[in-house]
Amino acid sequence: MIEPMHVETDVLVIGAGGAGMYAAIEAARAGRTVLLADRSLIGRGGATVMAQMTVAVALGEETPDHWTHHLHDTITAGRGLCEESLARLLCEEGPDCIRQMDAWGVGWARRDGHIAQAMAPGHDRPRCAYVDFLNTGPAVSKTLRTVVNKTAGIRKAGDLVIIDLVRVDGEVAGATALHLSSGNAVTIAAKATIVATGGLTRLYRRNSASANMGGDGYALALRAGAPLIDMEFVQFFPIGHLAPRLIGMDPIMWDPFRYKLGGRLLNGLGQEFTSRYGSDEDGAYVLTRDLATYAIIKEVEAGRGSPHGGAYLSFEHCPEGALREAFGPVIDRLAANHIDLTKMPVEVAPIAHYHMGGIAVDARMETGIPGLLAAGEAVGGANGANRLSGNAVTEALVFGRRAGRSAAERATRIDAQPFRQQAARSAIELATAGRDAERTELPNSAEMILSLQDTMADDVGAFRTGPKLERAIARLDNLARDLGERPFGDRAPFDMPRIDWLDLRNMVLVARTVARAALRRTESRGAHQREDFPGMLPQWRVNQVVRWRDGALDISAVPPAADMSANLAAAQ
């Protein structure tokens, strides 16, 4: 076996999206050395760069506002399950982070000399800042990349797929990785490790995030002993682009059009239909995501869907000048895709968009396993059973900053690296082992990923039943069997079957946590809708906690805590 390459750092940040970059900046500013690792390019993968929409924050620039109003809306949307200390942190520190981004030159859209804030569903007043046109995420990413590049003490390392965290004496002491461009194993000793890998939308066939959001951070944390919470709550974005085929644009692009211009949601017969499901839009855009997803899926089930199995979204009533004013060059990009909004509707359908659940942390972003922190979408609990529009980028920035500070404090406090190479041995083996000689024919790893995505979309999607969830769990068991214990692939740069195998190892584990938690929750709440158990039940006002114990998943229920640290202490 070729010896792995080894590096040491004070703080290891896994994932270079919005949360990871902000964490790296903050830890480095506190004087610590940082290794900012990502499985692809720095600051270009993940979800932040894909966010074309808005950032919810109580700046009070558009109308008077206070973070407590934002918190009230966040908790209401969360259907009783928000981890209040995290929701509060998001809302209270959001304005500071957004103004910091402004000072760093992100370029929030302005109107009459102030930062423009748009109205979005679920907010009680205009609260959502943005960067024109459809450029919020790219601008946030670019700004953070620039600051990362200017901050001393941050080493950047792309093409590193983290295989497992290294656990020594009950603490996390770094990680083991596969370096894609060489095919070598890498061990990283770190005094503090921040998981900022985003969510799990890649588990679904149709999703709005990038291909590297396969829930890997959840799997890393779970295997290292940290609990996950609220895994059953996957947010579907109701109006993801469906048809005609559109390239060069993210499928969630229609939301800002609706913020600015309303737009009409119509069924296959050309009728407005959301009022049938208890909410009348009346030309404005007020429907929350869970209700809109429900309405569209039910129309399709009733045989009133659009040709590709969704709903129509029409801006045909908007004058061309208004479209051009609101979206400028985006209109030309649509024209290149043969879409003229003045003459035709587009088809939209729900698409996996965000995950409310994730790694359980306290308000310092610490997991309860010393040395292991989390940030951004990887964190569970802040948004409860349903996330408000605009809270995702805010939590990326706020939680990233907080995690960076906490990690730096720990790295300052402890002297020696707790890392031991022996503890990394099994993960090094996964990075470098040859294929299982006893298996003559291996399945196609890329096809297995599609199969997992189909299973999750068909049976663990926005609407669930007991039998469907049980079928999904059985299919995931089959996938786990096909996967086996030894990775596929040769040992070379960009060994795609090995990358798929390592991804599937995480995806199957995380998919099981979602399906198992969803099967247990015999009620409907927020983004978790059970057709066999409609309605919200008071006894289910609990967070489900998933732990990895003796090689098996252990799920328990705890009442929502005002402060997660009590639960984390109990978990030890």
Give residues in contact with other proteins (CB under 8 A): 5-7, 37, 40-42, 44-46, 49-50, 137-138, 149, 156-160, 179, 181, 184, 186, 210-212, 244-251, 337, 444-447, 449-450, 489, 492-494, 496-497, 500
When the beta carbons of 40 and 314 are compared against other proteins, the nearer one is 40
Q: Do residues 541 and 521 touch, judged by C-beta distance below 8 A? A: no
When the beta carbons of 317 and 439 are compared against other proteins, the nearer one is 439
Least separation, in Å, of the C-beta of 446 and other proteins?
A: 4
The structure tokens listed for 526 are 């927020």
Least separation, in Å, of the C-beta of 160 and other proteins?
A: 6
Strands 372-374, 184-195: pairing kind: parallel
Q: CA of 301: how far to CAs of 189, 206, 295, 298, 358, in Å?
A: 53, 18, 10, 5, 31
Least separation, in Å, of the C-beta of 360 and other proteins?
A: 27
Rounded Cα gap, residues 133 and 116, in angstroms: 13
210's CB contacts (< 8 A; 6+ apart) are: 45, 46, 47, 49, 50, 202
Give bridge partners of residue 147 from the DSSP assignment.
none
Torsion-angle region of residue 174: left (phi > 0), alpha (psi -120 to 50) or beta? left
Of 114, 156, 127, give the one whose Cα is nearest residue 55: 127
Least separation, in Å, of the C-beta of 350 and other proteins?
A: 17
When the beta carbons of 3 and 124 are compared against other proteins, the nearer one is 3
When the beta carbons of 284 and 450 are compared against other proteins, the nearer one is 450
When the beta carbons of 247 and 437 are compared against other proteins, the nearer one is 247
Rounded Cα gap, residues 199 and 252, in angstroms: 16
CA-only gyration radius of the chain, Å? 23
When the beta carbons of 339 and 363 are compared against other proteins, the nearer one is 339
21's CB contacts (< 8 A; 6+ apart) are: 36, 43, 141, 144, 145, 147, 148, 400
DSSP label at 539? G
Q: CA of 499: how far to CAs of 181, 414, 443, in Å?
A: 12, 34, 14
Polymer length in residues for the chain: 572
When the beta carbons of 4 and 404 are compared against other proteins, the nearer one is 4
Rounded Cα gap, residues 208 and 241, in angstroms: 9
When the beta carbons of 212 and 288 are compared against other proteins, the nearer one is 212
When the beta carbons of 454 and 470 are compared against other proteins, the nearer one is 454
- End-to-end alpha carbon distance in the chain: 36
**∠94-95-96 over CA atoms, to 5°?**
90
Least separation, in Å, of the C-beta of 179 and other proteins?
A: 6
Least separation, in Å, of the C-beta of 39 and other proteins?
A: 9
Least separation, in Å, of the C-beta of 265 and other proteins?
A: 22
When the beta carbons of 233 and 501 are compared against other proteins, the nearer one is 501
Q: Do residues 358 and 365 touch, judged by C-beta distance below 8 A? A: no
DSSP label at 302? T
329 three-state secondary structure: helix
When the beta carbons of 368 and 497 are compared against other proteins, the nearer one is 497
Q: Do residues 545 and 221 touch, judged by C-beta distance below 8 A? A: no
The structure tokens listed for 472 are 């999904």
Least separation, in Å, of the C-beta of 407 and other proteins?
A: 20
